[in-house]
Structure 1
Amino acid sequence: MATSIYHHSSKSQLEYSVFGRGKKTLVCYHGFGQKPDDFQFLEDHLIDYRIIVIRLFYHGRSKRRNNEISHIRIPEWKIIFTDFLHSLQIERFSLLAYSMGGRFALASFLGSENKIDQVILVAPDGIIRRFWYQLATFPVVLRQVFYLLMIEPKPFFWLLDRLEKKGWMNQTMIKFARKELQSEDKRLLVYRTWVSFKHLRIPQKQLIQHVNQSASHFTFIFGEKDKMIDPVPHQHFLSQLKKSDIHITTYGHNKLVENTINIIAATLNK
């Protein structure tokens, strides 16, 4: 798949891919460690759409100023994303995001509410606070410990073994950590994204207000077997949404976009 690079005046840059030749536009954000071609299958189901997949920062060739590791906040992303839309002459579009990409989709929504038709969030990260995420990135002392564990993983994997034996961490998270964190590149990617994206979220009360008042239609998709983005802690949030579509499916976290393509296609092809 051919990719392109968008260069922003802030010296940040975005790698993105475009496929499909429809007249409508769908902007997609992938999850942790994914690539644009993980979403290429959408082309067969969304023939009316031009599909643009933006790589998250620290993935591929998407990078911030000098690839610095510091908090990105919503105002900064809104400026970059607005200029990105202008560069591609996009006037109206829909959003689809999976897992970690949900943070970017919601930040993009805040900057372009009057241009968006549909927002589909599949197992979105950033709506509720997750204990391990907060522990690893706050306060500064713990963040430094987290960094050292990513550089020298033996104590980290020892800690995983202890947590597993005590039953303090679910098997899905253990399996994910052992699989994804074998290489130093992946461990550093975890550190960079967790630290940099921490503040790329909308306070829950504010998010509920925006979703309920927006002219854009929201669809939330979760998997009941998903232990990474568990739907159960989201129930209070979801119960306060007045006009959104909510789907709790039978699947787990992995390949949730592929497994729920029928819901996604039905929503976008209305």
Structure 2
Amino acid sequence: MDQELFYEKNGEGEKTLIFFHGFGQNHKILSPWVELTNKQYTIYNFDLYYHGNSSRPDIILSPEEWKSLFANFLKENNIDHFHLAAFSLGGRFALTTYQLFPEHTRSITLVAPDGIYENFWYLLAVSKGGNKLFKYFMLHPTVFNRFLKLVEKLKLTSSQMIRFAQKELFTKENRKRVYRSWTYFRPLQPKLNLINDLIKSKKTPIHLILGSKDLLVPIDKIKSKMDKSESVYYHILPLKHHQLIDGAKTLIPSLLEEVNL
């Protein structure tokens, strides 16, 4: 399989804004964000690997490789400084990018971000032994559904989480995608101690937009992991996970305007 990292360029502003979408999506899902920011910014709206028009062999994506890929992107587009904004899985890429390019990052806006809090099921799925079982489940959906029913019966997680898993992993394509994303993006786990130190020392504004009804990204778990720096801001909306892209669209431009860097 060839490797391609696709992005769509929009806008005409002097400042640069980079978007990363969530799992099972592509750059088009963030079109509402683009429409409200493209007057002030030049926007680079990415497709993550295994999503949309971006492709990659089934191999680990290391921070070192991502640094090289992103550095080439910056050089090709003559970009010096940039703002980052991301939803869900894209948050893992945004935080890793900040960790690798802190001097170039002006601000970060994260909507229900992945990469800060890792739940039990994710940690199990990416563990050495658990990953083999995870792969088996993704290849055998009938067995996986039986497992979900057992988990629900034993009340190991909420019924809402079970319904979410059943919906997201209904198709073969999505099961393959979640296995690839969880397995091969695993090394892009942000080093939160380093990130918190960078936020404090560089006073990088980081806005976290979270949903009070979001079961995937619990507010208390996020707050417990992030430093209580004056540069970290929380914005809580009465929304579920999937509602936050649209719910945050008018908030994001105003937060970027506050940064004004």
Q: Check whether TM > 0.5.
A: yes
| Residue type at the aligned position of 2:7 | Y
1:38 CA displacement: 0.8
3-state DSSP class of the match of 2:224? helix
Q: Which residue pairs with 1:4 in the alignment?
A: none
Q: Which residue pairs with 1:7 in the alignment?
A: none
Cα distance in 2 between the residues matched to 1:41 and 1:153: 34
Return 5+ residue gaps in structure 2 as ranges: none
1:224 and 1:252 in contact (8 A); partners too: yes
Return 5+ residue gaps in structure 1 as ranges: 1-10
Deviations 1:49-88 (A, max 9, x none): 1221111111123233xx12x3322222111111111111
Q: Which residue pairs with 2:45 in the alignment?
A: 53
Q: Which residue pairs with 2:30 in the alignment?
A: 39
Q: Quick check: 1:180 aligned with 2:168?
A: yes
Task: From 51, 56, 61, give the equivalent of 1:72.
Answer: 61
Task: From 246, 249, 258, give the equivalent of 2:246.
Answer: 258
| Residue type at the aligned position of 1:192 | R
| Residue type at the aligned position of 2:215 | K
Task: From 111, 135, 140, give the equivalent of 1:122.
Answer: 111
1:82 and 1:111 in contact (8 A); partners too: no
1:78 and 1:110 in contact (8 A); partners too: no
Q: Quick check: 1:62 aligned with 2:54?
A: yes
Q: Which residue pairs with 2:195 in the alignment?
A: 207
Cα distance in 1 between the residues matched to 2:80 and 2:226: 30
2:99 and 2:194 in contact (8 A); partners too: no
3-state DSSP class of the match of 1:251? coil
Q: Which residue pairs with 1:105 in the alignment?
A: 94
Task: From 229, 233, 251, give the equivalent of 1:245.
Answer: 233
CA change 1:32–1:87 in 2 (3 A) is same
Task: From 120, 126, 130, give the equivalent of 1:142.
Answer: 130
Task: From 93, 100, 117, give the equivalent of 2:82.
Answer: 93
Deviations 1:160-206 (A, max 9, x none): 11212222112332122111211111101010000011121223222
Q: Quick check: 1:20 aligned with 2:11?
A: yes
3-state DSSP class of the match of 1:32? coil
1:39 CA displacement: 0.9
1:261 CA displacement: 2.2
Runs of 4+ with >4 A deviation: none
2:117 and 2:217 in contact (8 A); partners too: no
2:25 and 2:52 in contact (8 A); partners too: no
1:239 CA displacement: 5.3
Q: Quick check: 1:161 aligned with 2:161?
A: no
Cα distance in 1 between the residues matched to 2:243 and 2:252: 13
3-state DSSP class of the match of 1:208? helix
2:203 and 2:231 in contact (8 A); partners too: no
Q: Quick check: 1:197 aligned with 2:185?
A: yes
Cα distance in 1 between the residues matched to 2:165 and 2:5: 27
| Residue type at the aligned position of 1:23 | E
Q: Quick check: 1:218 aligned with 2:210?
A: no
Cα distance in 1 between the residues matched to 2:229 and 2:211: 18
| Superposition CA RMSD, Å | 1.6
3-state DSSP class of the match of 1:45? helix
